[in-house]
Amino acid sequence: MPALTPITLATGRLKLRWMTQADAPALFALFSDPAVTRYWSTPAWTDLAQAHAFIDTTLAEYEAGTGLRFAILLADTDEMIGSIKLYDFYDSNRRCDIGYALLQSQWGKGLVGEAMTAVIDYAFNTLNMNRIEADIDPRNEASAKVLERMAFVKEGYMRERWIVNGEVCDTAFYGLLKRDWDAR
C-alpha cells in the first residue's frame, strides 16, 4: 500500500479530512450516542478521554499506514458530523475494510453514501485497492441499504460473532470489487 499522507477529500456537501485531537469533543458526541453505537462493536462512550485515546490510536495508524480515518465535516460549516475509515489493509491482496458512523441528526440525508463514494474512489484509484469489505450487524438495515447502493454484495453471514454490552450479535459480510465499482 502507498504511504499514507494527509489528504482532504471534498464532495458537494462534505469535506473529509484527517483527524486531530481537536476533534475529540465532536468524536465523543458521535460515539457517546447509544443510537449511533447500537450496531457498533463496542458500547457507547462515557468519557471524553475515550475520544482522545481513540484519536491517539488513529494518529498512530496514520503513521504506521495501517488505518485511514477521515473526519466527515459539513462543507459549509466545518461541523464534524461523522467518521469513515479504511483499515485492515492487506497489501498482497490489495484489500481493506471500511467502517463509518454519522450523527443521528444527519441520518437519512444521503451523507454516508456521499462520503463513501469519495473514500471508495480514493481507495481504488489512489491506494490501488482491488477489494473493500464491510462487516455489519444484519439488523442494521440502513447500513445494509447504503452498502448495497454503493454496489457492495452481501457475501456471508457469521452467527454470534460479537458480544457487545452482553448482547450476542451476528455479522453480515459485504464485499465490493474495483471492477464492480467501475461498472456501476
CATH number reported for the structural domain that contains residue 54 in this entry: 3.40.630.30
- HSE-up of 120 (CA within 13 Å, CB side)? 27
Model confidence at 23, in pLDDT bands (50, 70, 90)? very high
Confidence of residue 4 (pLDDT cuts 50, 70, 90): confident
Q: Which residue has the higher pLDDT, 169 or 174?
A: 174
In a domain, 111, yes or no: yes
Q: Quick check: 157 and 174 in contact, CB under 8 A?
A: no
Measured CA to CA, the distance from residue 183 to residue 142 in angstroms comes to: 23
Q: Is residue 178 pLDDT above 80, yes or no? A: yes
- Tell me whether residue 79 is in a domain: yes
Q: Residues 45-62, buried b or exposed e (16+ Cβ, 10 A)?
A: beeeebbbebbeebbebb
Structural domain includes residue 24: yes
Check whether 162 has a pLDDT greater than 90. no
Question: What contacts 58, CB < 8 A, 6 or more positions away?
Answer: 19, 67, 69
Q: Report if residue 97 sits inside a domain.
A: yes
Residue 151 lies in a domain: no
Residue-number span of the structural domain to which 37 is assigned:
8-135
- Whole-angstrom distance, CA of residue 74 vs CA of residue 71: 10
**Number of compact structural domains in the chain:** 1
Q: How confident is the model at residue 129 (pLDDT cuts 50, 70, 90)?
A: very high
- What is the C-alpha separation between 49 and 51, in angstroms, rounded? 5
Q: Facing residues of 84 across strands?
A: 70, 100
Average pLDDT, the chain: 95
The amino acid present at 131, given as its one-letter code, is R
pLDDT confidence of 1, banded at 50, 70, 90? low
C-alpha–C-alpha distance, residues 182 and 167, integer Å: 38
What is the pTM (predicted TM-score) of this model? 0.94
pLDDT for 24-82, tens place per residue?
Answer: 999 999 999 999 998 888 889 999 999 999 999 999 999 998 999 999 999 999 999 99
The pLDDT of residue 50 is 97
Q: Which residue has the cell 491506494?
A: 127
In a domain, 119, yes or no: yes
pLDDT band at residue 3 under the 50/70/90 scheme: low
DSSP-assigned beta bridge partners for residue 176: 132
Provide mean pLDDT across the span 137-154: 96
Whether 16 is in a domain gets the answer: yes
Residue 165 pLDDT greater than 70, yes or no? yes
Cell of 161: 460473532
Q: Is 127 exposed, middle or buried (CB count within 10 Å of its CB: 0-12, 13-18, 19+)?
A: middle
- The pLDDT confidence band at residue 170, using thresholds 50, 70 and 90, is very high
- pLDDT of res. 2: 54
Residue 148 lies inside a defined structural domain of this protein: no
